[in-house]
Amino acid sequence: MATKERLGRVMRLIIIGALASALLAGCNRSEIAALHEKVAALEQLEQALVLEHQETAQALEAERQEMGQLRKDAASSVQSQIWGGVSTRKLVVMDSKGKTGAVLEVNNDGPTLRLMDANGKDRAILEVGKGGPVLRLKDESGMGDVMLAAQKDESGLILADKKGIVRAVLSMGKDGPVLVLRDENGKTRVALAVLENGAGLGLFDENGRDRAGFAMDENGPRVNLRDEQGNNVWKTP
């Protein structure tokens, strides 16, 4: 019950008590009439206070319901964020010890996903750039590398040794597949291609010079052998 309402009832009881005392004491009619008027005024005040209390209670109930709905909406929003996704430019995932295990980020070149080993070294990297996706796998030293790419005009597989030197390249372009094998110095030693007009095999010396060529096209097989200066020493036809 509101404080004003309790005060009004107390005042009414006091005046009613005074009215009863006045009747018992033989007060005149004017005094009794004045007390009656005060009682009536207090009854009106009490009714107004009760109405105000009811309106206040209704307002509080409406506010309580509104707050309940807001809580539901907030919970629904959080649930949506949890299950619907999180918007961020960089996401770092760590293990129970706080070591970074994965990093997903988006920059001007495109999205990148990096996966680390227990020592925090990058072991797998997936990038999607303007040319297309590229997947790189690294060994423990970080030098041995496997790269798989699917670019706009050419796709390929690249293998590097533990020194970081590219040793094998397999590519697929518009003209057909090409396989290139290189030595420990990065010099091309073998090249094999199957193109639109035929197939060919090239052998190279330690300096990267083409020393032997074998080809097959619509005119038949051809063989070409060269010296260190690139001069033909034997060919057919």
The whole domain housing 109 covers 88-154
Q: Which of 169, 215, 220 has its CA nearest to residue 194?
A: 215
pLDDT attached to residue 98: 86
d(CA 18, CA 56): 32
Residue 162, φ and ψ in degrees, nearest 5: -70, -10
pLDDT attached to residue 67: 58
Query: Is the domain of 75 the same as that of 10?
Result: yes
Tokens describing residue 215: 């080809």
* Identity of residue 132: G
Q: Which of 144, 195, 148, 197 has its CA nearest to residue 166?
A: 144
Could you say which residues of the chain have pLDDT below 50?
1-8, 10, 20, 22-25
Q: Tell me the chain's radius of gyration from C-alpha atoms.
A: 46
Query: Is the domain of 101 the same as that of 132?
Result: yes
pLDDT attached to residue 154: 87
Tokens describing residue 18: 């005074």
Digit-coded pLDDT (tens) for 158-217: 999 988 899 999 999 888 999 999 999 999 999 999 988 899 999 999 998 999 999 998
pTM attached to this predicted model: 0.60
pLDDT attached to residue 140: 87
Residue ending a domain, among 38, 55, 84, is 84
d(CA 225, CA 206): 16
Q: How many domains does one find in the chain?
A: 3
pLDDT attached to residue 4: 45
pLDDT attached to residue 1: 46
Domain containing 237 — which CATH number? 3.90.930.1
In a domain, 166, yes or no: no
- DSSP assignment letter at 120: S
Between β-strands 166-172 and 177-182, what pairing exists: parallel, antiparallel or unpaired? Answer: antiparallel
Query: Is the domain of 77 the same as that of 99?
Result: no
Residue ending a domain, among 64, 84, 104, is 84
- Largest distance between two CA atoms of the chain: 152
Q: How far is CA 59 from the centre of its chain?
A: 43
Going from the C-alpha of 165 to that of each of 126, 162, 187, 205, 216, the distances in angstroms are 21, 7, 10, 18, 31
- DSSP assignment letter at 228: T
pLDDT attached to residue 110: 92
pLDDT attached to residue 52: 54
Q: What element of type H or E holds 233?
A: strand 232-236
How many CA atoms, within 13 angstroms, populate the side-chain half-sphere of residue 214?
A: 5
Between β-strands 188-195 and 166-172, what pairing exists: parallel, antiparallel or unpaired? Answer: unpaired
